[in-house]
Amino acid sequence: MQVEQLTTTVGQAMEGPLLVTPKVFGDDRGFFFESWNQRRFDEAVGAPTVFMQDNHSRSSRGVLRGLHYQLEPEPQGKLVRCTAGAIFDVAVDLRRSSATFGQWVATTLSAENHQQLWVPVGFAHGFLTLSETAEVLYKASGFWSKTCERSLRWDDPQLAISWLPDRMNGDAPLMAEKDSAAPGLAQALAAGDVFA
C-alpha cells in the first residue's frame, strides 16, 4: 500500500486527506488486491481509526454528490473508493485553525486505478460522476446523523473548485435539492458550521 499527501491547487501540501494506492496483483485471470487492512491504515494515518458504517452509491454521468460533512457529536471521516466507473473526488478543508482552511484537493478515483481517498473529520466531501455510471463505496468513522449533517455549496466562488466542466459537455450537474441550495463557505463560517 502506498500513501501520499495531496496538494492544493496553489501547490500547498494539505495535512489530512491521503491518497491510498493498493498493491494490485494481476495476471490473465484478473486481479487481486487488499482493499482494507486495519493495521496498515492506522499506520498510514498515524492513529487508530474505527469505522461505524459502510455506504454504497450508484450515480449516472454528471451526478454531483456533496459537498457533505457532519459536525460534532457525530463527525465522519470517510475512506472513499470507486468500484465501477470513475469519479472526480473532492475534499475541502473546513478546519478554521488550519493553514489550508477553505482550500481543496481532488483526485480521480476509478475502478481501473483502485485508489482510495481518505477524507478525515474536518473536511467536506463531494464527487462528480465522470463515467456513464459509477459505484462508490466508502467507510465512515461515524454514524449518519440528520442533525449533524451539513452541505456546502458546490460552486461557491470562494472555494473555486474546478469540477472539470469539459467532462460535463457544458451541462449543469445533476444533484439533490439540498446540495444545490447549500450555503457557501462564508455563510457556514458565520453560522459556526465549521470545525475548530
Of the candidates 56, 68, 69, 125, the residue annotated as catalytic is: 68
Residue 53 lies in a domain: yes
Do the strands 149-151 and 24-27 form a parallel or antiparallel pair, or are they unpaired? unpaired
What does the pLDDT read at residue 65?
Answer: 97
Residue 130 lies in a domain: yes
What does the pLDDT read at residue 8?
Answer: 83
Per-residue tens of pLDDT for the chain, all 196 residues: 888 888 887 778 899 999 988 888 888 888 888 888 899 999 989 999 999 999 999 999 999 999 999 999 999 999 999 999 999 999 999 999 999 999 999 999 999 999 999 999 999 999 999 999 999 999 999 999 999 999 999 999 999 999 876 666 677 899 999 999 999 999 999 999 999 9
Residue 36 lies in a domain: yes
Residue 138 annotated as catalytic: yes
Residue 68 annotated as catalytic: yes
Range of the domain at 169: 2-190
Q: Kindly provide the b/e burial profile for residues 27-53, where b requires at least 16 CB atoms within 10 angstroms of the residue's own CB.
A: eeeeeeeeeeeeeebeebbeeebebee
Q: What is the CATH number of the domain that holds 95?
A: 2.60.120.10
Residue 195 lies in a domain: no
Q: Nearest Cα to 103, choosing from 176, 175, 17?
A: 17
Query: How many whole angstroms separate alpha carbon 23 and alpha carbon 184?
Result: 38
Of the candidates 69, 114, 125, 138, the residue annotated as catalytic is: 138
pTM: 0.92
Residue 136 lies in a domain: yes
Residue 116 lies in a domain: yes
Number of domains in the chain: 1
Residue 131 lies in a domain: yes
Residue 196 lies in a domain: no
